[in-house]
Amino acid sequence: MRIDVVTIFPEYLEPLRVALLGRAIDRGLIRLDVHDLRDWTHDVHRAVDDAPYGGGPGMVMKPQVWGEALDDVAPEGTGARLVVPTPAGRPFTQSLAHEYASESHLIFACGRYEGIDQRVIDDAARRMPVDEVSIGDYVLVGGEAAVLVIVESVVRLLPGVLGNPASAKEDSFTGALHGLLEGPSYTRPERWRGLVVPDVLRSGDHAKIDRWRRDQALIRTFLRRPDLLDALPEEDLDAADRKL
């Protein structure tokens, strides 16, 4: 997969070269290019923002600079998908992460200030798929932190990136859990600070362990994210689930 990020703070994306993602780059599983938006400015101040039409506080990122940047990074016919992080976007979810993991080329446009002039997004949408995506109902200072989140969640789904690919299949929100939250996990020692690992996990009875894990996932989801339970199709619940 090819990933391009356009930002006014290229150094902010350095964590993408660390640990699992860094190894994925070293092994050629992804190609990451981070571009400084100011390289497409033409004035002495290398300005990327201007006052908003209609007045109001803050500044808006200029369309000319973004337009030239995206023309170069994503010329017509590259088959890329453009992702624009914004609190006003559609929610980023695990299922969108899976969708992005099947793309060959993702381009991220990091906004700052009050965001990017809307015409940049509308213009790009004339030649490629564009998603305005939010990572949560809160406001960040810029799109870079959102890109770190999105790229990390996408790259770990790519074949060969995780040491044990089965672990991504049993995570919260995934197919095996039918969109539920994962229950609690434990490791050695059996007793720690007076707290004991549940007996069932040490029983060696795999059917019982699976049932216990499923119950814990249902209970945790009910308590913390009832909205996920509400969205669960009826056919994804077995008879034991319904009894719980």
Find the catalytic residue in 112, 156, 213, 214.
Answer: 156
Which SS3 state, helix, strand or coil, does residue 10 take?
Answer: helix
Instruction: Please report, in angstroms and rounded to a whole number, the separation of the first and last CA atoms in the chain.
Output: 43
Residues 189, 6: Cα–Cα separation, whole Å: 47
Among 36, 50, 103, 114, binds ligand SAM (CB under 6 A): 114
Residues 174, 127: Cα–Cα separation, whole Å: 32
Name the one residue in this structure whose structure tokens are 């040490």: 202
Q: Is 136 annotated as a binding residue?
A: yes
Among 115, 151, 161, 217, binds ligand SAM (CB under 6 A): 115
Decide if 87 is catalytic: yes
Upstream peptide bond of 189 is cis (omega within 30 degrees of 0): yes
Q: Which C-beta is closer to ligand SAM: that of 142 or that of 183?
A: 142
**Candidates 2-10, 22-30, 141-149, 210-218; binding stretch for ligand SAM (CB under 6 A):** 141-149
Among 70, 135, 155, 177, binds ligand SAM (CB under 6 A): 135
Tokens encoding 5? 């990020």
Pick out residues in 74-103 that bind ligand SAM (CB under 6 A): 85-88
Find the catalytic residue in 68, 152, 171, 241.
Answer: 171
Pair 94, 100: CB distance under 8 Å: no
Q: Is 135 annotated as a binding residue?
A: yes
Give the binding-site size for ligand SAM (rule: CB under 6 A).
Answer: 19
Among 78, 142, 201, 220, binds ligand SAM (CB under 6 A): 142
DSSP E strand boundaries for the chain: 2-7, 31-36, 49-50, 60-61, 81-91, 105-109, 130-134, 191-192, 195-196
Please tell me whether residue 63 binds ligand SAM under the rule CB under 6 A. no
Strands 2-7 and 105-109: parallel
Active site residues: 87, 114, 156, 171
Give contact residues for ligand SAM (rule: CB under 6 A).
Answer: 85-88, 110-112, 114-115, 134-136, 138-143, 146
